[in-house]
Structure 1
Amino acid sequence: MCRWLAYSGTPLLLDTVLYKPQHSLIDQSLHSRMGVETTNGDGFGVGWYTEDGRETPTPAIMCDVGPAWNNRNLHEIADHVRSGLFFAHIRASTGTAVQQSNCHPFRHGRWMWMHNGAIAGFHEMRRELCLLVDPVLFPDIGGTTDSEVMFYLALTYGLDDDPPAAVARMVGVVERVGREHGVEFPMQMTVAVTDGVRVWAFRYSSSGASRSLFYSSRVDSLRRLHPDKAFLRDVSEETRLVVSEPLGDLPGAWHEVPESTYGIVQPGADELLPFVPQPA
């Protein structure tokens, strides 16, 4: 499995989140507390948006097949790139090749996607699932992972128009195909997807026992709890993190995303809603 984080809020240097926290994502690449594996060393990726004046933002992606903890290029970029919306992912392969095209986050146009979990029985059902991808989109699939196929199925089922409905249809079709292949619990996922403005985060599994996922408390609440923390004075009340596991032990800072739930991080009030798969 994998570990990931999604950040949205006041623009800051990537290393503020990737390296500096007590239990940062880089620390988790070696010492995960809640993942299936303690070590997540089968590649990594970061993707970020910048305010460059374009009407439709397109994220930059940097990834590599080596472990995140000793990558000099990642450290160099993290200390110089500033962004108000970025994804970061450390990979532990569930069977597909360790190669750059299999590293998250994945990108299509303005969209960015990353996943922790697996489609059980993916090897047996991969061809059938791939044939359900829109033929116009199919040539853009670059790797061999279940995660990327999930992304392109969500694009096929209307990600541009209604992300929660598209992801629900994607899960619905994966579960249908999986059960046709004799897989009782086909889907295990925490997923983050963004269009460069909003972030949607999903926690779901067919078995009802999903991988861990947390979101940060409102900044104004944290300021009241911890008035001595200088970094809380430097970020806006819109700032939010969604993470596979907490980046530290600050009391009151983290809340678990409930089972079968998705959240929307957006300008204004965020939302937390039930997630139910739908037929495609």
Structure 2
Amino acid sequence: MCRWLAYSGEPLRASAVILDAKHSLVAQSLDSPLGAETVNGDGFGIGWYPKGAVAGSIPTVFHSVEPAWNDENVRELARSIESPLFFSHVRAAGGPPIQRTNCHPFRWENWLFMHNGFLGEFAKVKRDLTFAVDPSLYTHLKGTTDSEVMFHLAITFGLVDDPVKALTAMVDHIERVGREKGILFPMQGTIAVADGATIWALRYSSQGRSRTLFHSVDIPTIREMYPEAERLSQFGEHAHVVVSEPLNDLPGVFVEVPEGTIAILDKEGYHHEPFRSAA
């Protein structure tokens, strides 16, 4: 459906991973070997927190409906943005129209959210799910995607106070409503959400066959494995990326996030938690 990338660490020029890596996000927009669709040309988005950001800082977002490989603004921005935490996403539209309000990442206050996947037979559940969004958030829904509804459901269910609990409640609700409508596998995908300091990355599907998700190992470990790799010099000791598929083919640099897992990336590094819906 889509490809996405999340970075956290020392401030990094976004082009290092969006443009310059061997299998960068823009390269994946043209050729995505592990994706459900090979080409992801229905829009691009980037959301970034400012250099020197403090807790609660509001991220900036840019969206374009142009294919990422053909948009000069993408290249200009990626080479100019230097950020300690940013999200980027290339879209393959699965039904909702190609328009800026449907491009990821989505923003609410200091939170960013993006998704790769779909809700099964979304048209059947759209009304019920949308009406479950807190009324105070309803006017913030600008687009027509299932992803944006998911984000606002997570906020409704307490994302600010406990992201893991809120994401669990969101999936439980989606699966309950979907199965009431006779949908066998209501939920599919990988999700990234961030508050400016921590990234939560979820891999889950009702069928147990989720879209791919990987994260990098620690930079000191990579430097030990590849001491002559000059490109590593641009990354700080705490640089990490979470990606739909690896940015290079170097063995050991990326590890796959297991099915039914939420990977949490904070200042201490990664830790994984099992993710199960109670539905």
Q: TM-score, normalization: structure 1?
A: 0.97
2:141 aligns with 141
2:51 aligns with 51
Conserved? CA contact 2:213–2:245, under 8 Å: yes
Deviation at 1:277, TM superposition (A): 1.7
1:195 aligns with 195
1:101 aligns with 101
1:29 aligns with 29
Q: Quick one: distance in 1 between partners of 2:35 and 2:232?
A: 28
Identity percentage over the alignment?
49
Deviation at 1:231, TM superposition (A): 3.1
Judged with a 3 Å threshold, the aligned counterparts in structure 2 of structure 1 residues 265 and 53 are, in CA distance, closer, same or farther, namely closer
Residues 97-176 of structure 1 mapped to structure 2, 5 A cutoff: 97-176=97-176
Residue identity matched to 1:150:
M
SS of residue paired to 2:80: coil
C-alpha offsets along residues 87-109 of structure 1, whole Å, 9 cap, x if unaligned? 00000011001100000000000
Residues 229-244 of structure 1 mapped to structure 2, 5 A cutoff: 229-244=229-244
1:62 aligns with 62
Residue identity matched to 1:108:
W
Kindly tell me the number of residue pairs found equivalent between the two proteins.
279
1:276 aligns with 276
Residue identity matched to 2:35:
G
Conserved? CA contact 2:55–2:197, under 8 Å: no
SS of residue paired to 1:154: helix
Q: TM-score, normalization: structure 2?
A: 0.97
2:256 aligns with 256
Conserved? CA contact 2:6–2:86, under 8 Å: yes
Residue identity matched to 2:81:
V
2:73 aligns with 73
Judged with a 3 Å threshold, the aligned counterparts in structure 2 of structure 1 residues 125 and 48 are, in CA distance, closer, same or farther, namely same
C-alpha offsets along residues 97-152 of structure 1, whole Å, 9 cap, x if unaligned? 11000000000000000000000011111000011000011110110100000000
Deviation at 1:239, TM superposition (A): 1.2
2:84 aligns with 84
Which moves more between the two structures, 268-277 or 41-50?
268-277
Judged with a 3 Å threshold, the aligned counterparts in structure 2 of structure 1 residues 271 and 29 are, in CA distance, closer, same or farther, namely same
Q: Quick one: distance in 2 between partners of 1:53 and 1:241?
A: 19
Which moves more between the two structures, 85-94 or 55-64?
55-64
1:227 aligns with 227
Q: Quick one: distance in 2 between partners of 1:56 and 1:200?
A: 16
Which moves more between the two structures, 247-256 or 223-232?
223-232
Deviation at 1:79, TM superposition (A): 1.0
C-alpha offsets along residues 163-198 of structure 1, whole Å, 9 cap, x if unaligned? 011000000000000000000000001000000000
SS of residue paired to 1:79: helix
Q: Where do 5+ consecutive residues of structure 1 fail to align?
A: none
Q: Where do 5+ consecutive residues of structure 2 fail to align?
A: none
Residue identity matched to 1:64:
S
Residue identity matched to 1:95:
G
SS of residue paired to 1:143: coil
Conserved? CA contact 2:59–2:110, under 8 Å: yes
Conserved? CA contact 1:68–1:90, under 8 Å: yes
Conserved? CA contact 1:223–1:233, under 8 Å: no
SS of residue paired to 2:189: strand
SS of residue paired to 1:136: helix
C-alpha offsets along residues 44-82 of structure 1, whole Å, 9 cap, x if unaligned? 100000135555211100011110001011111111111
Residue identity matched to 1:217:
V
- What RMSD over aligned residues (CA atoms) do the two structures have, in Å? 1.1
SS of residue paired to 2:39: coil
Which moves more between the two structures, 85-94 or 268-277?
268-277
Q: Quick one: distance in 1 between partners of 2:170 and 2:278?
A: 8
Conserved? CA contact 2:44–2:63, under 8 Å: yes
SS of residue paired to 1:270: strand
Which structure 1 residue ranges, 4+ long, deviate > 2 Å from structure 2? 51-55, 230-237
